[in-house]
Amino acid sequence: MRVGTVALVGAGPGDPGLVTVRGLELLRRADVVVYDRLVDPRLLEEAPRARRVFAGKASGHHALPQERITALLITHARRGRRVVRLKGGDPFVFGRGGEEALALARARIPFEIVPGVSAAVAVPAYAGIPVTHRGIASSFAVVAGHEDACKRESGVDWARLATAVDTLVVLMGLKALPGITRALIEHGRSPATPVALVRWGTTDLQETITGRLGDIAAKAERARIEPPVVAVIGDVVALRARLLWFDEQRLPVGAAQ
Ligand SMILES: C[S@@+](CC[C@H](N)C(=O)[O-])C[C@H]1O[C@@H](n2cnc3c(N)ncnc32)[C@H](O)[C@@H]1O
C-alpha cells in the first residue's frame, strides 16, 4: 500500500475566513482531520468526507497526549490516507508543529507545512492594534507566558525583553500576568505603558480590556477574563482608539472599550 501524507495546516486564529487557500484545498480532500480546540467548527464542514478526530486540550487537560496524536498521524498516513492536522493559528508558532513534523520525518512519512495566520498578529489587528507602526514601534516579540513564565528556568528572559523590543505580544499569559507585568516594570518598562488583553480575537466573542502595565493585572482579575487571550504591551496599543474596526462592526457605536 502506498503511504499517505500528512499536512500540518494552520487554521488561523478563529475567523474561518482567515484560513489559507492551500489549507482549504487540503481540507476539502482530506480523509482524516485531526483538529485542535481553538479551531472553528465551520472549517471542519469543509471536510465532509473526512474522519474527524478531536485532539485539542482545554485548560491544560489534554484530549489526547502529544505522543498519541503523533502516533495517530503516522498510523493513518501508513494506511495510505491524506491526513490534515489542523492547528490553531500557525502550526509553528507555539503549536508543537515542529515536534509533529520531526516525528513524521523520523517515520519517513511525506509531510507538508501550511503556515497559518497566527493569533500573535491577527488578534491585535482585529482589535485595531498594529504590532509595528512607523515612529512608534519598529520591533515586536512574541512570547509564551505560561504559568511558570516568571521562573528563571522558564526560558523567557523578561529582564532583557522588558526594554529590548517595542511591542510585546504575549500568548498564554493570562494566569501569569501579575508576575509578567511586575517583572517588566522591575526591569525598566514604564508602568504607564499601554496594554490590551484581547479575548477570543477575530471571532464573534472578541472582547478587549485596555489599561496600563501598572494596572492591567488588577483590571483583568476584576473582569474575570478567561483564556484564550493575547496580551499586547506597548505604545502601539494607543492606536486602537483610532483604528477600531472589528468591534465597531459588531457593537453599537461607543460601546467598544
Ligand atoms: C498554544 S498557543 C497556539 C498559538 C497558535 N499556534 C497561533 O499561531 O496563533 C494558544 C494561545 O494563542 C492565543 N490565541 C489563539 N487564538 C486566540 C484567539 N482567537 N484570541 C485570543 N488569543 C488567542 C492564546 O494566548 C492561546 O492561549
Give the Cα separation of 177 and 203 in Å (integer). 23
Is there a single domain that holds both residue 41 and residue 124?
A: no
DSSP string, 190-231: -TT-EEEEEESTTSTT-EEEEEETTTHHHHHHHHT--SSEEE
Is there a single domain that holds both residue 128 and residue 141?
A: yes
Q: Which CATH number characterizes residue 229's domain?
A: 3.30.950.10
Is there a single domain that holds both residue 196 and residue 233?
A: yes
Is there a single domain that holds both residue 110 and residue 131?
A: no
Active site residue 57: yes
Res 150: pLDDT: 60
117, 133, 149 — which closes off a domain? 117
Which residues, judged by CB distance below 6 Å to any ligand atom, belong to the binding site of ligand 1?
13-14, 38, 87-90, 93-95, 118-120, 123, 171-172, 198-203, 227-230
- 173 CA closest ligand 1 atom index: 25
Res 155: pLDDT: 78
On whether residue 255 sits in a domain, the answer given is: no
62, 88, 117 — which closes off a domain? 117
Is there a single domain that holds both residue 56 and residue 149?
A: no
Is there a single domain that holds both residue 29 and residue 128?
A: no
Q: Which of 87, 166, 172, 175 is catalytic?
A: 172
Res 31: pLDDT: 98
Distances in whole angstroms, Cα of residue 55 to Cα of each of 52, 99, 109, 122, 249: 10, 15, 20, 23, 33
- 97 CA closest ligand 1 atom index: 6
Q: Which of 15, 175, 230, 247 to mutate to test the pocket of ligand 1 (most atoms within 8 A of CB)?
A: 230
DSSP 3-state assignment of 172? coil
Is there a single domain that holds both residue 142 and residue 213?
A: yes
On whether residue 254 sits in a domain, the answer given is: no
Is there a single domain that holds both residue 182 and residue 103?
A: no
On whether residue 253 sits in a domain, the answer given is: no
Q: Cβ contacts of residue 43 below 8 Å, gap of 6+?
A: 11, 16, 19, 27, 35, 86
Is there a single domain that holds both residue 19 and residue 81?
A: yes
Structural domain of residue 84, as residue ranges?
5-117
117, 138, 156 — which closes off a domain? 117
Domains in the chain, number: 2
On whether residue 257 sits in a domain, the answer given is: no
Is there a single domain that holds both residue 54 and residue 159?
A: no
Using the 8-state DSSP alphabet, how is residue 171 labeled?
A: E
Is there a single domain that holds both residue 75 and residue 136?
A: no
Q: How confident is the prediction along the chain (257 residues), in pLDDT tens digits per residue?
A: 789 999 999 999 999 999 999 999 999 999 999 999 889 999 999 999 999 999 986 555 567 888 999 999 999 999 999 999 999 999 999 999 999 999 999 999 999 999 999 999 999 999 999 999 999 999 999 999 986 656 655 678 999 999 999 999 999 999 999 999 999 999 999 999 999 999 999 999 999 999 999 999 999 999 999 999 999 999 999 999 999 999 888 765 555 45
C-alpha 78 to ligand 1 mean position (Å): 31
Active site residue 219: no
Is there a single domain that holds both residue 140 and residue 78?
A: no
pTM: 0.93
Res 22: pLDDT: 98
